[in-house]
Amino acid sequence: MAMAAADIERLIKEAMPDAQVTIEDLAGDGDHYRAVIVSEAFRGKSRLQQHQMVYSALGGRMGGELHALALATSAPA
Amino acid sequence: MSEPVFERIKEQIAGDDVVLYMKGTPVFPMCGFSAKVVHLLGQTGAKYQSYNILDDMDLRQGLKDFSNWPTFPQLYVKGELVGGCDIISEMYESGELAQLFQEKGVSQA
């Protein structure tokens, strides 16, 4: 199972239109990515909540189609 | 109607100050992310109870629904989900993890 970086970015932007998303393919296997996401939607949210928002944007693919997605989330400075 | 597995999870996370749901065991971790959290917990010296979700599919699915967190490992402190490998690593690096354990009165191993 794997996902394309572009699909990850598209899903995140659909849920958070203002998000700036940078995706790094960690292993080249379409299964291990790192995503740096900056969005106003994260402001005031705990890290846990921010990551949960990203996981829900991915619509249940996390842990299934997508094995590993390291996340660095923040609101704009 | 609460899932029977939810009751089991509630008991488990209330049963110990620190509970780690992981793939494999601390001695034989079966996934790099689980191994990393085991290592970091070892560095803090905190006492914790681990559960191998690879041995228990009900627990594995139940936890995803219970905590709205789709991946493992999952670390709970005093019954609350703290996070997975990313968050625990960030907290360890910044010292927040040790501080949290101190604030919550977590005993050392």
B90 and chain A: CB distance < 8 Å anywhere?
A: yes
DSSP B54: G
Enumerate the β-bridge partners of residue B21: B51, B74
Q: What's the structural domain count of chain B? A: 1
CB contact under 8 A, B84 and A64: no
Residue B73, preceding peptide bond in cis (omega within 30° of 0):
yes
pLDDT tens profile A12-26: 999 999 999 999 998
What global pTM score does this model have? 0.91
| Structural domain range at position B83 | 3-104
Quick check: is B72 in a domain? Answer: yes
| Location of structure tokens 């996401």 | A37
ipTM above 0.95, yes or no: no
Residue type, B95: G
CB contact under 8 A, A55 and B90: no
Quick check: is B23 in a domain? Answer: yes
Contacts of A56 in chain B (CB under 8 A): 68
Domain A5-74 belongs to what topology?
GMP Synthetase; Chain A, domain 3 (3.30.300)
A62 and chain B: CB distance < 8 Å anywhere?
A: yes
Quick check: is B109 in a domain? Answer: no
pLDDT tens profile A21-66: 999 998 888 888 999 999 999 999 999 999 999 999 999 888 888 8
